[in-house]
Amino acid sequence: MSKKTQNYDNIVRELVNAHDDIIGAVIISDEGLPETDYIGELSEYEIIEIAEAIINVASIKRPNRIWFEYQDFDLIVVFNAKDYLLLVKAKKTNRLGSLRKTIKNTSEKIQSLVDPNPASGNGYQPSVRQTDNEMIYRNKPESPES
């Protein structure tokens, strides 16, 4: 198992453990293959239904969320078209704000793994860190002759 897959698994396990109403979750890659184990209870039918709904979305340019409501539970999908899809199965709950915040935080953790150094929306690229050699050179004491 690769380190990236282990990180994804850990993030999904944290998500399921972080909220009592979450029944299960999985991260699916842009190729449609699971990046993580199925954590909790998810059926193949639920996954197929969600995949069909996502295919029917005309244009996905930024992270989006789809909420499926069933009689006994909800399915929440957070996806970024080129990177990942997070599928979360949750109990019916009155604590929607807390559930949404937990899912949003998890989505941000996944995005940081996918793109660890994103540029900001205004075109600003974060500066490259100085190497140790540059720091040593700048902090080098002056010689006694000068």
The model's pLDDT over 1-51, given as tens digits with 9 standing for 90+, comes to 567 667 888 888 888 888 888 887 777 765 555 556 555 666 777 766 766
Share of the chain above pLDDT 70, in %: 48
Q: For residues 138 and 80, which has the higher predicted lDDT (pLDDT)? A: 80
C-alpha–C-alpha distance, residues 111 and 99, integer Å: 18
Asked, for residue 145, whether it belongs to a domain, the answer is: no
**How many domains does the chain fold into?**
1
Asked, for residue 58, whether it belongs to a domain, the answer is: yes
Question: Which residue intervals of the chain are DSSP H helices?
Answer: 3-18, 44-55, 96-114, 132-139
Cα–Cα nearest to 107, from 78, 81, 83: 78
Domain CATH for 40: 3.30.450.30
Mean pLDDT of 52-63: 56
Asked, for residue 146, whether it belongs to a domain, the answer is: no
Asked, for residue 102, whether it belongs to a domain, the answer is: yes
Quote the mean pLDDT of the chain: 68
Residue range(s) defining the domain that contains residue 23: 3-119+126-139
Mean pLDDT of 94-98: 81
What pLDDT was estimated at residue 50? 67
The answer to whether 92 and 73 have CB atoms below 8 angstroms apart is yes
Asked, for residue 106, whether it belongs to a domain, the answer is: yes
C-alpha–C-alpha distance, residues 90 and 14, integer Å: 14
Asked, for residue 77, whether it belongs to a domain, the answer is: yes
Asked, for residue 105, whether it belongs to a domain, the answer is: yes
What pLDDT was estimated at residue 133? 45
Its pTM stands at 0.54
Asked, for residue 66, whether it belongs to a domain, the answer is: yes
pLDDT confidence of 94, banded at 50, 70, 90?
confident
Sign of CA dihedral 15, 44, 8, 68: negative
What pLDDT was estimated at residue 32? 55
Rounded to 5 degrees, what are φ and ψ at 47?
-65, -40
For residue 108, pLDDT over 50 is answered with yes
What pLDDT was estimated at residue 55? 57
Q: For residues 123 and 27, which has the higher predicted lDDT (pLDDT)? A: 27
Give the range with max mean pLDDT: 53-67, 89-103, 104-118.
89-103
